A and B are shown apart, each in its own frame.
Chain A
Amino acid sequence: MRPTEDQVVHELQDRTSPSAESMAALHRRLESGAERDGMLDVAYRTLDTAVGSLLLAATPTGLVRIAYAVQGHEAALEALAAAVSPRILEAPGRLDDAAREIEEYLAGGRRTFDLPLDFALSHGFRQTVQRFLPTIGYGQTYSYTRVAAEVGNPKAVRAVGSACATNPLPLVVPCHRVLPASGSVGRYAGGAEAKSVLLAMERTTTGR
């Protein structure tokens, strides 16, 4: 019996259907081709950690975004597409150093980060504050008021809060070391619980 048109088409679809391995190999080839041709404007990967799945993204300049799962990885990538470039690929190679240093940090074995950073996602006073934050040492905490004073704008306490809340690089730019004067942990991009975990971890390893 002659097969029907549907059977022929179905068979053709079946026979040309790629395996996951084929697609993964082609994806890797695309990543290296894009890197070679200077078209990998943003490379990203995810990293499973004790504070949840983290999205790590980097431009050729440096690490540009770290997003907690609660912030939404997809939303973070869409924001990068709009603000930096839509030439975005999941390409873990560029994030090797960042992933390793973050893992070391979360394991308590690293106190400072040695990574090139790209502050393309922030501007003006917010960026000034964010660039200041890494000078707050491991295990130390500042109040929002103190940060405002340190960056030379003592009245801008609320703006310091906004700068911390919109920090595109949490963990590496340690906004978790800035606390409200009330003594509470305060808000955090990764949730108050993640902030407590980081602060507790830094206190413990500092006390050792």
Chain B
Amino acid sequence: MPPKAPFETVVTDHGPTVLRVCRAVLGSHADAEDAWSETFLAALRAWPDLPADANVEAWLVTIAHRKAIDVVRAHRRHPVPVAEVPERAEQTALPGSVDTDLWREVRALPTKQRQSVAYHYLAGLPYAQVADIIGGSAAAARRAAADGVNRLRAQHTAGFARGDGS
């Protein structure tokens, strides 16, 4: 087996993408950070034994998918009576802007649509791999992603291009 790269390169190369996926799937930044942390701890543990030819990004998204479910389940068992405030200073959108609407609408998507959109469009996984992660067929994953994106498009008939003249 060829030697494994230092795990730090995995964090550098895939950390931001996995966080995007967690944010899109979970909606809340705090939850996304919990899921990201659990994902990379689990990945660090398993890293020496991952086959050398494995698709690292698909592997990480698969772990993140499970960790996101764990985070949601933990909330159900121990509900946190705090209003969710996903928008933070680092976000470019102003409150009430169309961006904020998009964010809310992503959270309102049915789970499979949200997951399919995140795994295909944010992580760049082909539909066959998305289907491996969420279950069902590749065609169903493709439909779910397309439905999700169409729904987001429909919510924005006004458009949300920012200052680019459209």
Contact = CB atoms under 8 A, between A and B. Distances in A.
B63 interface: no
A81 B4 contact: yes
A44 B11 CA distance: 14
B23 A16 contact: yes
Contact of A88 (B8, B40, B41, B153): B8
Given A5-B149, A11-B102, A39-B44, A27 B11 contact: yes
Nearest to A91: B8
A5 B47 contact: no
Given A15-B102, A29-B37, 5 more contacts: A2-B154, A2-B156, A82-B4, A88-B7, A89-B44
A175 to B, nearest CB: 25
Among A26, A77, A80, chain B packs the most CB atoms within 10 A around the CB of: A26
Interface in A1-60: 1-5, 7-9, 11-19, 21-23, 25-27, 29-30, 33-34, 37, 39, 42, 44
Interface residues of B, number: 45
B40 A30 contact: yes
Contact of A81 (B3, B41, B160, B161): B3
Interface stretch (B12-20, B67-75, B77-85, B129-137): B12-20
Given A18-B19, A37-B41, A39-B41, A77 B8 contact: yes
Interface string A61-102: 000000000000000011011100111111000000000000
Nearest to A29: B37
B5 interface: yes
A7 B160 contact: yes
Given A17-B20, A29-B37, A85 B44 contact: no
Contacts of A5: 149, 153
A87 B47 contact: yes
Contacts of B19: 16, 18, 22-23, 26
Contacts of A27: 11, 15
Contact of B48 (A26, A37, A87): A87
Contact of B153 (A3, A37, A89): A3
Interface residues of A, number: 42
A81 B153 CA distance: 46
Interface of B: 3-8, 11, 15-16, 19-21, 23-24, 33, 36-37, 40-41, 44-45, 47-48, 90-93, 99, 102-103, 106, 117, 121-122, 149, 152-154, 156-161, 166
A90 to B, nearest CB: 5
A56 B47 CA distance: 22
14 contacts: A2-B156, A2-B157, A8-B153, A15-B103, A16-B20, A18-B16, A23-B15, A30-B11, A33-B37, A33-B41, A37-B45, A42-B6, A81-B3, A82-B3
A36 B149 CA distance: 41
A47 B152 CA distance: 48
Contacts of B149: 5, 8-9
Contacts of B3: 78, 81-82, 86
Contacts of B156: 2-3, 8
